[in-house]
Chains A and B, each alone.
Chain A
Amino acid sequence: MKAMKFLAVFTVLVVLLTACGNAGSSAAAPEVCETDAFGCAVFEEGDVIKIGMGAPMTGGNASYGIDISQGATIAMIDAGNIEGWTFALDAQDDGGTAEGGAAVANKFVADPAIVAVAGHIFSGATAAAIPIYEKVGIPMLSPSATNPALTTTGSKVFNRIAFTDLNQGNNAADYLYNTLGIKKLAVLHDGSDYGKGLADIVAAQFVADGGEVVDEQAITPGETDYTAVLSTVASKSPDAVYFGGYTAEGAVLVNQMKTTGLENALFFGCDGTYGEDFLTRTGENGEGAYASIAPASPDSEAKATFNAAYLEKFGKEAGSLSPYTWAGYDSAAGLVVAIKEVAVVSGKKLYIPRGALVDAVRTLDNFVGLSGTFTCQDNGECCVDKPQFVIVKDGAWTTAD
């Protein structure tokens, strides 16, 4: 069969490519490489310093992976170079699952040009990947893996700039009760690790503050008709609805709240419902909706520059594919700062001591990013400031009082 032959030859070619794809290097190295627990990554002239990223690039969640990797790609361009050595992003599809995460992690670990990983993106994939990176000394800086358990394992390599649910949830509940004066709250979430984590904490804190949680419901993500759930929630007459989840469902909820009896209830989202996409998809219905984000000005100059660059390169508004575009940039940019700190040029080669890099990422201090200012703690949590609350006014996100 001709076609089979063609296919077979092609496959063999690709396998050969993969096998021959990576060149190792070895030579006399500066002292720090001898003493470093994990050795050095060595780059010859013309080599590229690679930062890996494991993200879902296909399947139902592809918009997150693609968006975050695109944000990080711009960071690679902005990173410039270290005496001629440039940076590049290697984004691989991990499907958001543990199986994929481990596969990608193993692939990265086998590539000597990868010195750090901006990721992974989904908590499940991250959990499976951490032990693999731990063995080799590849530091991680995740923009979005929010499962609290990830920083309790004692890992030295895992760090994240994402909020913990505890931080975001508690502050949101306090804000709702104290500042907005909401007494009756309905809590919805999308059943995901992230959404449910937030919702549970908000509910608990709200009750602790003295409020009443009139209903707690979980929706099925990926659907377009939530009128049934909203109707039952409406029957309890809440003053506000808190939603833990992402824009995909949040926008639908906001649009359908008006027709199910919840016209007068406030919609309070989280950093997963923030972004350009939310505004586009809710239009007028979105007026007055809240969200919580990491403390950075929603419209700084650096952000405007980034938004323009993103639009030019990828043809889409930043934040239209997922709310984490800016966090994607920040995670890669943060790693670049750490790499620049520890990289050593000697002879005609560039050396990056891996152990030192792990420490450098762990000790990131006051790193000013697009989505916030980050200082990493001993356990790898880098986002410790309280969240900032924003509200939709006249079709744009502005800081709420």
Chain B
Amino acid sequence: MNDPAPLPLVPKGDNNLNTDTAVMKKQKKGSKLLKLLRPALGVVVLLYILFRLYQVLIVQHEYGADTWTRLLISGLIIGGVYALIAIGYTLVYGILFMINFAHGEVMMFGAYAALYSFWGFKLINIPGKETNFLNAYPVIAIILAFLIGMTVSATLGYFLEKIAYRPLRKAPRLVPLISAIGASIFLQNAAQLLFSPQLRDVTNPDILRRGVGWTIVINGNDVILPYTGVFTFILSIILLITLFILVQKSKLGRAMRAVALDKKTAALMGVDVDNTISRTFIISGALAGAAGVMWGIHNGLVYYYVGFIPGIKAFTAAVLGGIGNIPGAMVGGLLLGIVESMGPAALGINFQLKDVLSFVILIIVLTFRPSGLLGEVLSEEKV
């Protein structure tokens, strides 16, 4: 028996493979140049920023300590709100590598739940006391509002996953993204049709009115630290720690991390992948719901479009901190908030450009640290 002639290693015809070493050397030089260009650009922008800072802070001395304190408080509170929304975002991304575009809409429904809960509580009159349920038992009312909001949003998250994402788990990455976008558009318009496009303000219980807080006197001016703002900030920290403990210490958390690392192996190890993913979405939904209720209490404004832009900002914050990284969501959120509040004042530019500034900072951060400030933690890089 004779062996047939060996098959050619490389198919006949046009050979695309560039194995010429001279060419490869040239490529290396080219890419080296480009590699230098990037950090060079980043350094240039940084220098400009530092220069502007010097101008505004040292030379022109425009704002007093009271203004800076106000700006800092603003920044931390805005950052707290972003962090709150980003936590849910980053959880889903860390487990499923999926940008849940509909996260903002889930939050919006949570905000509506808060709106109607408080509205309903206000209607209940307590016999014997002069006031209504909302003001008679504010703490209970707030806790109830949170529970209702989180339940509504968690349920929504569960059904969202079941209908729009689960069948697409094996599809290429872009397909669930479009499905999420479709779901987001659907939910926005559903809210508009159900509840009308009217912009509404949430009525807080009297003890937690918006705009009221502790007063600090700086430079002879009153600087107010709003109660609702502090509440937001503390809540985001609490949720962050809770989630962190959940993911690191609990059985469900272990299952989540396993699924994030390698779905098939996790399934082989006995993890119920479908169940884990469902529960991830439920938790993410609950987090979005909490963010929505808090949004209603602190920012007050509720309408069908209210989740869209904060959703994108939260995504930016999550990326800034390292997407998939839970403490990163907090760091990213706070950084974003501070850049938005203090940035324009510090650089002497118009506040209209604050989003431009945020994205420029994002690009700079990602230029020097491509996986975000705190890097990715939940799993290795997926190729």
- Do B354 and A220 touch across chains, with their CB atoms under 8 A apart? yes
**Chain B residue, CB-CB nearest to A252:** B301
12 contacts between A and B (CB under 8 A): A59-B305, A222-B305, A224-B300, A224-B306, A227-B70, A228-B74, A232-B71, A235-B66, A255-B211, A256-B211, A259-B224, A260-B70
- B309 interface residue (CB < 8 Å to A): yes
Please provide the chain B residues from 41 to 80 with a CB less than 8 Å away from any CB of chain A in the complex: 62-64, 66-67, 70-71, 73-75, 77-78
User: Contacts of B280 on A, CB cut-off 8 Å?
Assistant: none
User: Which of A58, A235, A251, A321 is within 8 Å of B198, CB to CB?
Assistant: A321
Residues of B in contact (CB 8 Å), total 48
- B342 interface residue (CB < 8 Å to A): yes
User: Contacts of A218 on B, CB cut-off 8 Å?
Assistant: 350-352
User: Contacts of A191 on B, CB cut-off 8 Å?
Assistant: 352
Interface hit among B17-25, B189-197, B286-294: B189-197
- A217 interface residue (CB < 8 Å to B): yes
- B221 interface residue (CB < 8 Å to A): yes
6 additional A-B pairs beyond A218-B350, A218-B351, A228-B351, beta carbons within 8 Å, are A220-B355, A224-B306, A234-B67, A235-B66, A261-B66, A281-B199
Cα–Cα, bound, A334→B208 (Å): 48
Interface hit among A60-68, A104-112, A288-296: A60-68
- B262 interface residue (CB < 8 Å to A): no
User: Contacts of A223 on B, CB cut-off 8 Å?
Assistant: 309
- Do A228 and B299 touch across chains, with their CB atoms under 8 A apart? no
User: Which of B189, B309, B341 is within 8 Å of A228, CB to CB?
Assistant: B341
- A258 interface residue (CB < 8 Å to B): yes
Cα–Cα, bound, A321→B213 (Å): 31
Please provide the chain A residues from 209 to 245 with a CB less than 8 Å away from any CB of chain B in the complex: 217-220, 222-225, 227-229, 231-232, 234-235
Residues of A in contact (CB 8 Å), total 40
Please provide the chain A residues from 178 to 232 with a CB less than 8 Å away from any CB of chain B in the complex: 191, 217-220, 222-225, 227-229, 231-232
- Do A277 and B352 touch across chains, with their CB atoms under 8 A apart? no
Q: A231-B67, A235-B64 are in contact. Are A225 and B355 (CB under 8 A)?
A: no
Please provide the chain B residues from 315 to 354 with a CB less than 8 Å away from any CB of chain A in the complex: 340-342, 344-345, 350-352, 354
Cα–Cα, bound, A285→B67 (Å): 22
User: Contacts of A247 on B, CB cut-off 8 Å?
Assistant: 199
- Do A259 and B226 touch across chains, with their CB atoms under 8 A apart? yes
On B, residues with C-beta under 8 Å from A are 62-64, 66-67, 70-71, 73-75, 77-78, 81, 189, 192, 196-199, 201, 210-211, 213, 221-224, 226, 295, 299-301, 303-306, 308-309, 340-342, 344-345, 350-352, 354-355
Cα–Cα, bound, A392→B124 (Å): 30
Cα–Cα, bound, A222→B299 (Å): 12
Cα–Cα, bound, A219→B299 (Å): 16
- Do A60 and B226 touch across chains, with their CB atoms under 8 A apart? no
Q: How far is the CB of A236 from chain B (nearest CB, A)?
A: 9
Q: A218-B352, A232-B351, A261-B222 are in contact. Are A280 and B201 (CB under 8 A)?
A: yes
Cα–Cα, bound, A223→B305 (Å): 11
Q: How far is the CB of B112 from chain A (nearest CB, A)?
A: 15
- Do A225 and B197 touch across chains, with their CB atoms under 8 A apart? no
Q: How far is the CB of B120 from chain A (nearest CB, A)?
A: 18
On A, residues with C-beta under 8 Å from B are 58-60, 62-63, 66, 191, 217-220, 222-225, 227-229, 231-232, 234-235, 247-248, 251-252, 255-256, 258-261, 277, 280-281, 285, 315-316, 320-321
Cα–Cα, bound, A316→B197 (Å): 11
- Do B74 and A224 touch across chains, with their CB atoms under 8 A apart? no
User: Which of A59, A219, A235 is within 8 Å of B352, CB to CB?
Assistant: A219
Q: A58-B192, A224-B299 are in contact. Are A316 and B66 (CB under 8 A)?
A: no
Cα–Cα, bound, A285→B211 (Å): 10
Cα–Cα, bound, A191→B355 (Å): 13
Q: How far is the CB of A220 from chain B (nearest CB, A)?
A: 6
Cα–Cα, bound, A321→B342 (Å): 33
Q: A62-B192, A66-B197, A232-B67 are in contact. Are A219 and B226 (CB under 8 A)?
A: no
**Chain A residue, CB-CB nearest to B342:** A228
Q: How far is the CB of A267 from chain B (nearest CB, A)?
A: 14
Cα–Cα, bound, A62→B308 (Å): 14
Cα–Cα, bound, A320→B306 (Å): 17
User: Contacts of B303 on A, CB cut-off 8 Å?
Assistant: 63
User: Contacts of B354 on A, CB cut-off 8 Å?
Assistant: 220
A-B CB proximity, top 9 nearest: A218-B352, A224-B299, A231-B70, A228-B341, A63-B197, A235-B67, A227-B74, A228-B74, A62-B197
- Do B308 and A60 touch across chains, with their CB atoms under 8 A apart? yes
Q: Which of B197, B198, B309, B351 gathers most chain A CB within 10 Å? A: B197
Q: A224-B301, A248-B199 are in contact. Are A219 and B67 (CB under 8 A)?
A: no
User: Contacts of A281 on B, CB cut-off 8 Å?
Assistant: 199, 201
User: Contacts of B198 on A, CB cut-off 8 Å?
Assistant: 63, 277, 316, 320-321
Q: A217-B350, A219-B352 are in contact. Are A225 and B63 (CB under 8 A)?
A: no
User: Contacts of A320 on B, CB cut-off 8 Å?
Assistant: 198
User: Contacts of B340 on A, CB cut-off 8 Å?
Assistant: 228
**Chain A residue, CB-CB nearest to B350:** A218
Q: A224-B301, A227-B70, A231-B70 are in contact. Are A255 and B196 (CB under 8 A)?
A: no
User: Contacts of B300 on A, CB cut-off 8 Å?
Assistant: 224, 255
